[in-house]
Structure 1
Amino acid sequence: MGDIKSARELAMEKIEKLGEPSDEERLKWKYVPEGEKLAARYIKIGCNLVDELSQYEEKVKQCIIEGAGEILIRNIDLPKSDLAKRNNKKAMEGLKVIKSNKVDVENVYSKIRRLFNHYMEQGEQQRKQAYASLKIEFEAKIQQAV
């Protein structure tokens, strides 16, 4: 019969199988969160992304762009309010600054804008219809109660 191993021993065996992390992985672990913080600062206070990114060497800059891009993309949401519209615009401008292929980014943005416009037009119409039907239903119930 074999020995029963502790959870720690099993975990250590799995870690040994993984091997040492590469330099690229170490850079990502360190600088992707820095990129996320940079994107948050950009959204909140409007720091200059170009100036901030110019402080880093190319390998590090790619990790920071990766982290910032994730946060900026997460900040794009349906334009339910003026605040959401401003956040969308800010996030989309930031992505355009950090991404190298501006044409592809603009193509995606045109599709997003079309989707947002459809949401605003059709959504407003549906909200008005729902409000009108609710109002009629409520008035009918009040008439019955009186």
Structure 2
Amino acid sequence: MVDAKIKRLKERHEQQMAQLGQQRQRNQHRLEQLQRRQHSLNQALERAQSETAGASPMSWQNRSYWQGQLIPAQGKVQREQQLAQQELNRVGKLWQNALSKRQGLAWLEQHRLQQHQAGERRAEQRQQDESGLRAGLRHSRSGERPRRQD
């Protein structure tokens, strides 16, 4: 009964770990996308700044427009990256906790099995001892010496 409960709990933690693993992969993918987007924005901003060096007033106006668009976008992507990293860390900790619980349940299951086996060995030994005593009593009543059981 208790072993069945442990087994169910262990299975539940394994399912939770699988779900958290998938969620962690999605979060990692999202973070990588944001990093690529940040890199693209950085390159676009660098291009806009380098192309207008020594250029006409129209180019300066164009540069100001692009900086006005790209700089806020960079800030937004940085905030999204921070949130994605925090979520990735949170899910990673949940996964580690689920792993620890599952390992604890596996240990408990193994410990209970060893206890059960030890109990069976003790019962078997007790039975052998009792049958040896009974055989010794029968032989002592008949006047015979008890035979050794090997």
TM range (shorter): 0.3 to 0.5
Normalising by the residue count of structure 1, what TM-score does the alignment of the two structures yield? 0.37
Which of the pair has more CA radius of gyration? Answer: 2
Normalising by the residue count of structure 2, what TM-score does the alignment of the two structures yield? 0.36
Q: Greater relative contact order: 1 or 2 (C-alpha under 8 angstroms, separation 6 or more)? A: 2
